[in-house]
Structure 1
Amino acid sequence: MDIPKSKKLDIIIPAFRGHSQSFIMALEGISEEDALKRIEGRTNHIIWMVGNFLDMRYALGNILGLDEEFQYKDFFFQGKALDENMTYPSLKQLKDSFHTISPLVYQKLLEISDEELDKAFPMGMNIDFFPENVLNFIGMCIGREDYLCGQIGLMRRILGYEGMKYDFDENIKY
């Protein structure tokens, strides 16, 4: 396993890699058509969930110093509500973005120092038990990714796909 420069990320590194694997496995076999289906008009579709997952990855990259911009951020930035009148990017396009940004973010997570993690990062939460710093923002992004992977997994079952497999691919290093 890769060792991060900061011991504060010992739990984040495996979570990040685990989420990458879960993301890939949850989307396995999902058709482009099914990725746009909503349940009774009440749920977001998988494309929206995937786009939000990627919005988190790009946000992580930005706070870690990457200049990469999410090509589809106008659809998903900061959890932007689903708009049924928009033509969303394809699942393939979003998967390609995932494979572009994820290794870059992963490398930055390995390189960041304790001092950089402790830097203030205002989020506007104003909660006394939640210091608004880079480390906690990373934790929030990881939590959001976990939530979205769970939603995608649930949607795959609702849409009639078999449950997600946990066949981790050790060749994916991010």
Structure 2
Amino acid sequence: MKAQSSSSKLSGILVLYEMQTDFLLRALEGIEEKDAQTRLNTKANHISWITGSVISGRYFLAKSFGINEKSSTGELFKDNQGIIDDANYPTLAEFKADWEKISPLLYDALIDASEEKLNEQIEMPGMEMTLFDMLSFTSYREANCIGQIALWRRLLGYPGMSYM
């Protein structure tokens, strides 16, 4: 990645984007499928749901840039719906493939984004914001979700997430 954006306000977002692109894969490293949908007798979102919601967020942003790729998340994350009890979520391998497919495409779109594009208004149910504001929120949310997966790793008995 490591290209220079035409927008000065994107520089911090791009650094986080690159880090989080790698960190999600590191957070998922070694997690067995049998554990990916484990909730440990709680109502907490499991690793599969957290992962799918992050991926769904990148696909949503990609659509804002005219990238119309489809992910394996299907209808499971439509309209930002929460976790569905007893749903069969895609495998972590499918999620990783989606992540690896959309991340470089969206990155290239971000590099090429004009100030005008970043200032476009996006309408969400009950709110309106600029595309840049949505990028900022998505970056924050990705970091939060990666942290949740890192915590699940420990709760499920896996070693801590490696940053190297």
The two structures have a TM-score, normalised by structure 1, of 0.88
Alignment of 1:62 onto 2:59: no
Alignment of 1:6 onto 2:7: yes
Paired position in structure 1 for 2:42: 41
Please say if residues 55 and 78 of structure 1, whose CA atoms lie closer than 8 Å, have aligned partners that are also in contact. Answer: no
SS of structure 1 residue aligned to 2:121 = coil
Alignment of 1:50 onto 2:82: no
**2:81 corresponds to which letter in structure 1?**
K
Distance 2:9 2:100 in 1: 25
Kindly indicate which of the two structures has a greater share of residues assigned to helix. 2
Query: Between the two proteins, what is the percent identity of the paired residues?
Result: 32
Paired position in structure 2 for 1:109: 110
Kindly indicate which of the two structures has a greater share of residues assigned to strand. 2
Paired position in structure 1 for 2:75: 74
Please say if residues 154 and 160 of structure 2, whose CA atoms lie closer than 8 Å, have aligned partners that are also in contact. Answer: yes
Deviations 1:58-78 (A, max 9, x none): 011011221113332311234
Paired position in structure 2 for 1:162: 159
Structure 2 gap ranges (5+): none
Task: Calculate the aligned-residue CA RMSD, in Å.
Answer: 1.5
For residue 135 of structure 1, the aligned residue among 132, 136, 141 is: 132
SS of structure 2 residue aligned to 1:122 = strand
**2:67 corresponds to which letter in structure 1?**
L
Work out the number of aligned pairs and report it.
163
Deviations 1:92-145 (A, max 9, x none): 11111111111111110101101111122223555xxxx711110111111111
Distance 2:135 2:92 in 1: 25
The two structures have a TM-score, normalised by structure 2, of 0.93
